[in-house]
C-alpha cells in the first residue's frame, strides 16, 4: 500500500495514518489507551454513583423500550418510550421543531462518526494484524465500493452534523430563547454564579465544532495530496475543501504537510473529547438514552409508595433515591423546557423544576466528590446544594421548603422533559420528609387535620357532605342501600363549596332528566386523597383510601364517574394498587355520551367559547375529546387558547396548593391563564373541574376581566342548551 505522500492512489481507498510515522503512531496508541482509561474511570465513577440507588423497578421498562415496545396511556399516548423515540429525537422536537431537527442530525452525525471510527479500528487494528499473523499478508476491507459508501456517508452526515452544531450555537449564543437562560427561580441570599454552566455548554459545543471543522480541513488536505482521484467525487464536502485549497494555490505536497499537522490537531481534539465525556454535560450521550427508555409517566399518575423498610418518611439520604432518580439528576441537559412551562416558576414562586434537578445533582456531587469539571454552580458561601455532606437536610435545606411547597404537581415538567426526568414523584418524596418534620403551611396543616377527623378539607361535618342535594326536587339515590349504574364520586369542592353546589345540583338534574341511574355514597364518601398524597401526607392518604375503598366495596354500582379530575386520577390510577379497580369516568365523558345518544336533547347555543383543560384530566389522563365533543354538540364555537390539551397551563390549585398561602406569587397561574384567554375574542371561559371554577372566577375578577369573560362550568352550558321536558329514555347502558 502506498505510504508516501502525494502518491496517486489508484486503489479506491485512503490511507489510514497517512503521513504519520511509526513514532507518531506509537504516540497515538499510547495516548488513545490513556484516554480510554480516563473515560472508563469517569464512566465507572458515574455508574458507581447510580448503583447507590435502590431498585427502581425500571429494568423491564428499559428492556421493553429497547425492543421497541411502548406502554400506552388511557387515550393512546405513550407512557414509556422506545428506541424509535430516541432515534428520531422526537421528544426534543416536541414544541421545538428546529431544536429537534438539529439534535437529530447531531445524534446521527455522532453515531456515524463513532461507527466510522470503529470500522477503521476493526480494519486497521484487528483484521490487518490478525490476517498478517495468520496468512502473512495484511488484509483490509477498507477499499472499493465499501470505501466509497463509507466516504459518502461519513462526509454527508458529518456535514449535517456540523451545520446542526452551528445552528445550535447560533440558538444558544444569538437567538437565546428564555429557556436557555440560567437565572434561578429561588435566589440564595449571598448570590450565585452559573458561569461554569455556560462555560461547560460552550466547551461542549466548541469541541464538537472544532473536531468537525478539522475533520473537513484534514479531508480536503488528504484529497488534494492524493491528487484528487475520481472517487473523491463521492466525498463532496471534503472535495470542496480540497478545491478551495487548490484555488488558494496549495500544492499536493504542501497539502500532505498540512494534512500531517491537521491530523494531530484533529486527533488531539477527538481524544480530548472522548476523555471529557464522563466529566461534563457530554455525559448525556451515555446517560440520557437509558434514562429516556427507563422513564414511565405512570409513576407520576400513580405515585410510588413509601420507601420499603425505611425508618423515615420521604428522602433523607442518597440511598433513598432509586437508581433511576439518581440517573435523572445527571440526565438533565439544562434545556430549560420544564423551567419554561412550570406554573410555579411563571408565577414567581421559588421553584423551577430544572433548578431542583440541578441542585440535587450538585448536592450528590458535593457529597460524593463528583467528577464533573464544569457544569457546576458556584456560590460565595457553601449553602444549599453546596453545603458539606450531612450539614443540611435535603428537604428544607438543599432544597428550601418553600421551593418544594410551590409545586402544583401539574406534570407539565414531566410531560415536556425530552430525556425522561420525573420531577413530580421526586418533589412528593421530599415533601414527605417535610411533612414528617411538620414543616408546612398552617393552612395546609389545618386542612390535613380536618381531613383526618371529618374526611374533608373544609372542616365541615362529614354528615353534611350530601347537604347540597337538599335543593333538588328528587332524592339522590343512596348507593349504599340501592344498586345504581353509576356511582357519582362528587368530591369535596363540588359537595361543600357554596359557590359550586348549584353546579352539582345542575348536573344531578341533567342526569335525572336523562334517566341515568346514579347514586352517591353520602357521608361515606371521603376525600379521595389525591391532593393529600401529593402534599406528601402518605399516611393520611392511606387512611382516606382505606376508608373509601371499604365504602366502595359495600356499595352497589357498575361504574364510577367523578366531578373532580384529581379524584378521577386517584380512583382510576392509584386505588387499583390497593385492590380497588373500577371503571372511572369524568362527568364530561358521561355528558358527551348522553349528548351523543340523544338522551339529552339540546338546541344549538351558538356561543364562542374557550375551554380550559384541567391538568389532571388532559395531561394526566388524556381526556381531551369529551369536553370538546360536548361543545360541538351544543353548537358552540371553540377558540383554543395557545396552551391547550396536554400543553394546558395549570390553575395553581393542584398538589395541595389550594390549601396553601399564595401571597408570595407575583402573578397567580390562574391570572396568567385568564390573561391568555382574554386575548381571544370569546365571552366564555369554560371549565370542567370544581377547583378551576373557584380559581378562575377569582382570577377573572382580580385581573378585571370578569365583565367580558364569564367563567362557567360546562354543565351549565349543557343545562342552558337543554330542550325540556326531556323524554324519559329509561335506564341507559353503561359507557363501556
Cβ distance 324 to 291 under 8 Å? yes
Looking at 34-42, 139-147, 375-383, 434-442, which segment touches another protein (CB under 8 A)? 434-442
Q: Report, in Å, the least distance between residue 696 CB and another protein.
A: 27
Looking at 1-9, 197-205, 450-458, 700-708, which segment touches another protein (CB under 8 A)? 450-458
Looking at 47-55, 77-85, 340-348, 460-468, which segment touches another protein (CB under 8 A)? 460-468
Q: Report, in Å, the least distance between residue 521 CB and another protein.
A: 17
Cβ distance 526 to 456 under 8 Å? yes
Interface with another protein, residue 666, by CB under 8 A? no
- Which lies closer to another protein via its Cβ, residue 312 or residue 643? 312
Interface with another protein, residue 463, by CB under 8 A? yes
User: From CA 584, how far away is CA 445, in angstroms rounded?
Assistant: 30
Interface with another protein, residue 287, by CB under 8 A? no
* Residue in 119, 163, 382, 452 binding another protein, rule: CB under 8 A: 452
Interface with another protein, residue 435, by CB under 8 A? yes
* Residue in 74, 173, 459, 576 binding another protein, rule: CB under 8 A: 459
DSSP letters spanning 685-702: EEE-SHHHHHHHHHHHHH
- Distance from first CA to last CA of the chain, Å, rounded? 74
Q: Which residues are within 8 A (CB) of 704 and not within 5 positions of it... i.e. 6 or more apart? A: none
Interface with another protein, residue 558, by CB under 8 A? no
Cβ distance 19 to 5 under 8 Å? yes
Cβ distance 683 to 710 under 8 Å? yes
534-553 footprint of another protein as x/- string (CB under 8 A) = ---xxxx-xx----------
Q: Please, which of residues 266-285 interact with another protein by CB under 8 A?
A: none
Q: Report, in Å, the least distance between residue 489 CB and another protein.
A: 22
C-alpha cell at 420: 425522561
Interface with another protein, residue 453, by CB under 8 A? yes
User: From CA 726, how far away is CA 479, in angstroms rounded?
Assistant: 24
Q: Report, in Å, the least distance between residue 584 CB and another protein.
A: 25
Cβ distance 342 to 652 under 8 Å? no
- Which lies closer to another protein via its Cβ, residue 313 or residue 630? 313
Interface with another protein, residue 445, by CB under 8 A? yes
**Backbone φ, ψ for residue 90 (5° rounding):** -70, -30
- Which lies closer to another protein via its Cβ, residue 453 or residue 728? 453
Q: Report, in Å, the least distance between residue 313 CB and another protein.
A: 6
Residue count at the site for another protein (CB under 8 A)? 25
- Which lies closer to another protein via its Cβ, residue 70 or residue 310? 310
| 539 CB neighbour count, 10 Å cutoff | 15
Q: Report, in Å, the least distance between residue 459 CB and another protein.
A: 6
- Which lies closer to another protein via its Cβ, residue 305 or residue 348? 305
**Backbone φ, ψ for residue 26 (5° rounding):** -60, -45
C-alpha cell at 356: 431542583
> Of the candidates 605, 619, 632, 581, which has an alpha carbon nearest to the alpha carbon of residue 710?
605
Interface with another protein, residue 478, by CB under 8 A? no
Cα angle, residue 578 at apex, residues 562 and 547 outer, rounded to 5°: 65
Looking at 104-112, 211-219, 439-447, 501-509, which segment touches another protein (CB under 8 A)? 439-447
Looking at 82-90, 453-461, 591-599, 641-649, which segment touches another protein (CB under 8 A)? 453-461
C-alpha cell at 325: 432518580
Q: Which residues are within 8 A (CB) of 152 and not within 5 positions of it... i.e. 6 or more apart? A: 234, 235, 236
Q: Report, in Å, the least distance between residue 440 CB and another protein.
A: 7
> Of the candidates 650, 689, 79, 132, which has an alpha carbon nearest to the alpha carbon of residue 347?
650
| 219 CB neighbour count, 10 Å cutoff | 26
- Report the interface residues with another protein, using CB under 8 A: 306, 313, 435-436, 438, 440, 442, 445, 448-449, 452-454, 459-464, 537-540, 542-543
Amino acid at each position: 500500500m502506498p505510504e508516501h505522500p502525494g502518491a496517486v492512489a489508484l486503489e479506491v481507498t485512503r490511507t489510514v495514518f497517512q503521513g504519520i510515522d511509526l513514532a507518531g503512531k506509537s504516540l497515538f496508541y499510547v495516548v488513545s489507551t490513556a484516554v480510554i482509561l480516563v473515560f472508563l474511570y469517569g464512566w465507572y465513577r458515574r455508574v458507581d454513583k447510580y448503583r447507590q440507588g435502590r431498585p427502581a423497578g425500571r429494568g423491564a421498562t428499559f428492556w421493553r423500550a429497547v425492543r421497541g415496545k411502548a406502554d400506552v396511556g388511557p387515550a393512546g399516548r405513550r407512557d414509556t418510550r422506545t428506541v424509535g423515540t430516541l432515534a428520531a429525537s422526537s421528544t426534543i422536537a416536541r414544541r421545538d421543531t428546529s431544536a429537534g431537527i438539529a439534535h437529530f442530525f447531531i445524534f446521527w452525525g455522532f453515531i456515524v462518526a463513532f461507527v466510522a471510527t470503529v470500522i477503521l479500528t476493526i480494519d486497521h487494528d484487528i483484521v490487518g494484524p490478525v490476517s498478517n499473523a495468520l496468512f502473512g499478508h495484511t488484509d483490509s476491507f477498507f477499499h472499493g465500493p465499501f470505501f466509497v459508501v463509507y466516504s459518502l456517508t461519513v462526509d454527508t452526515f458529518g456535514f449535517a452534523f456540523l451545520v446542526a452544531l452551528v445552528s445550535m450555537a447560533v440558538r444558544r449564543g444569538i437567538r437565546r430563547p428564555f429557556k436557555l437562560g440560567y437565572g434561578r427561580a429561588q435566589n440564595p441570599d449571598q448570590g450565585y454564579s452559573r458561569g461554569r454552566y455556560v462555560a461547560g455548554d460552550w466547551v461542549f459545543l466548541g469541541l464538537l465544532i472544532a473536531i468537525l471543522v478539522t475533520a473537513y480541513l484534514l479531508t480536503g488536505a488528504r484529497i488534494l495530496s492524493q491528487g484528487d482521484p475520481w472517487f473523491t467525487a463521492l466525498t463532496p464536502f471534503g472535495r470542496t475543501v480540497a478545491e478551495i485549497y487548490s484555488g488558494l494555490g496549495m500544492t499536493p505536497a504542501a497539502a500532505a504537510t498540512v494534512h500531517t499537522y491537521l491530523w494531530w490537531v484533529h486527533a488531539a481534539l477527538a481524544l480530548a473529547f472522548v476523555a471529557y465525556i464522563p466529566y461534563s454535560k457530554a455525559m448525556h450521550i451515555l446517560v440520557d438514552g437509558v434514562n429516556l427508555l427507563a422513564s414511565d409517566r405512570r409513576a407520576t399518575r400513580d405515585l410510588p409508595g413509601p420507601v420499603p423498610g425505611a425508618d423515615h418518611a420521604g428522602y433523607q439520604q442518597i440511598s433513598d433515591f432509586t437508581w433511576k432518580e439518581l440517573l435523572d439528576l445527571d440526565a438533565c441537559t439544562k434545556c430549560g423546557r420544564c423551567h419554561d412551562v412550570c406554573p410555579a416558576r411563571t408565577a414567581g414562586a421559588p421553584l423551577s423544576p430544572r433548578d431542583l434537578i440541578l441542585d440535587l445533582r450538585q448536592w450528590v456531587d458535593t457529597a460524593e466528590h463528583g467528577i464533573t469539571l464544569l457544569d457546576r454552580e458556584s456560590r460565595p458561601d457553601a449553602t444549599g446544594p453546596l453545603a458539606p455532606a450531612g450539614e443540611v437536610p435535603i428537604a428544607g435545606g438543599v432544597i428550601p421548603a418553600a421551593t418544594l411547597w410551590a409545586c402544583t404537581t401539574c406534570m407539565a415538567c414531566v410531560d415536556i422533559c425530552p430525556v425522561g426526568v420525573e420531577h413530580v414523584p421526586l418533589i412528593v418524596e421530599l415533601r414527605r420528609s417535610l411533612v414528617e418534620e411538620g414543616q408546612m403551611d398552617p393552612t395546609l396543616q389545618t386542612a390535613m387535620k380536618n381531613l383526618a377527623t371529618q374526611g374533608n378539607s373544609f372542616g365541615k361535618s362529614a354528615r353534611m357532605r350530601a347537604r347540597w342535594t337538599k335543593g333538588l326536587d328528587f332524592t339522590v339515590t343512596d348507593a349504599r342501600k340501592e344498586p345504581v349504574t353509576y356511582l357519582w364520586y362528587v368530591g369535596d369542592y363540588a359537595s361543600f363549596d357554596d359557590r359550586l353546589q348549584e353546579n352539582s345540583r345542575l348536573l344531578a338534574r341533567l342526569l335525572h332528566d336523562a334517566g341515568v341511574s346514579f347514586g352517591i355514597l353520602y357521608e361515606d364518601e371521603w376525600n379521595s386523597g389525591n391532593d393529600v398524597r401529593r402534599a406528601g401526607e402518605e399516611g393520611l392518604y392511606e387512611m382516606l383510601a382505606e376508608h373509601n375503598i371499604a365504602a366502595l366495596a359495600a356499595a352497589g354500582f357498575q361504574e364510577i364517574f367523578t366531578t373532580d379530575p384529581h379524584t378521577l386520577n386517584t380512583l382510576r390510577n392509584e386505588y387499583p394498587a390497593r385492590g380497588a379497580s373500577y371503571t372511572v369516568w369524568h362527568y364530561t365523558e358521561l355528558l358527551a355520551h348522553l349528548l351523543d345518544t340523544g338522551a339529552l336533547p339540546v338546541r344549538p347555543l351558538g356561543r364562542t367559547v374557550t375551554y380550559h383543560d384541567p391538568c389532571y384530566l388532559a395531561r394526566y389522563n388524556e381526556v381531551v375529546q369529551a369536553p370538546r365533543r360536548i361543545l360541538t354538540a351544543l353548537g358552540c364555537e371553540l377558540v383554543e387558547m395557545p396552551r391547550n390539551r396536554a400543553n394546558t397551563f395549570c390553575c395553581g390549585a393542584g398538589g395541595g396548593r389550594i390549601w396553601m398561602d399564595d401571597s408570595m406569587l407575583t402573578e397567580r397561574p390562574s391570572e396568567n391563564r385568564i390573561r391568555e384567554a382574554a386575548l381571544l375574542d370569546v365571552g366564555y371561559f369554560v371549565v370542567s373541574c370544581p377547583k378551576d371554577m373557584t380559581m378562575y372566577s377569582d382570577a377573572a375578577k382580580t385581573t378585571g376581566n370578569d365583565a367580558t369573560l364569564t367563567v362557567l362550568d360546562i354543565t351549565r352550558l349543557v343545562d342552558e342548551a337543554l330542550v325540556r321536558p326531556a323524554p324519559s329514555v329509561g335506564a341507559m347502558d353503561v359507557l363501556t
